[in-house]
Amino acid sequence: MPPQRVRVLFVCLGNICRSPTAEVVFRDIAARAGLAGRLVVDSAGTGEWHVGNPPDYRAIEHAARRGYALEHLRARQVTGDDFRRFDYILAMDRNNLAALAALRPAQFPGHLGLFLDLAPHLRVHDVPDPYDEDAAAFEHMLDLIEDASCAFVRTLADGALAPGALR
């Protein structure tokens, strides 16, 4: 019997900068580590403003410079069904984590937390929202997401792949 797939959802506010970047970066790093077939990865936003839109053009451009393709993604909003579909729901910041906690069903068996908490060596909890910032903010966002993705992939590759292992 094939191993159960681990399902990971990355969440930010509008699903046009941080969470789609995390989706693609994490998926790419996991694939290079040989975990692609064992994961389902998606992203969503807590807000509804950008539903159906592609990621922010600056997120697309900065990610492309590092070899990541975001342009095919479309923003969507988190739904209650996501708590049934995903094992790990990872927020980009504490405000989005609070919004997710308010939606979380009492019986959710998965891990709900901050993405950067999976990379404590970074000594930061939130991926800052670059939307109203300059190019440096998009590069900083990518640096944090790449580092946290590498740390999470290492954790999964070291045997913590089972859902709920990070609780």
Q: Which residues have a catalytic role annotated? A: 12, 18, 129
- Side by side, the strands of the sheet bearing 39-45 are 39-45, 6-12, 88-91, 111-114
CB of 20 closer than 8 Å to CB of 59: yes
Q: Residue 90: how many CA atoms within 13 Å on its side-chain side?
A: 31
Backbone angles phi, psi at 164, to 5 degrees: 90, 0
Amino acid at 14: G
* Euclidean distance between CA atoms 76 and 50, whole angstroms: 7
The 10 Å Cβ neighbour count of residue 152 is 23
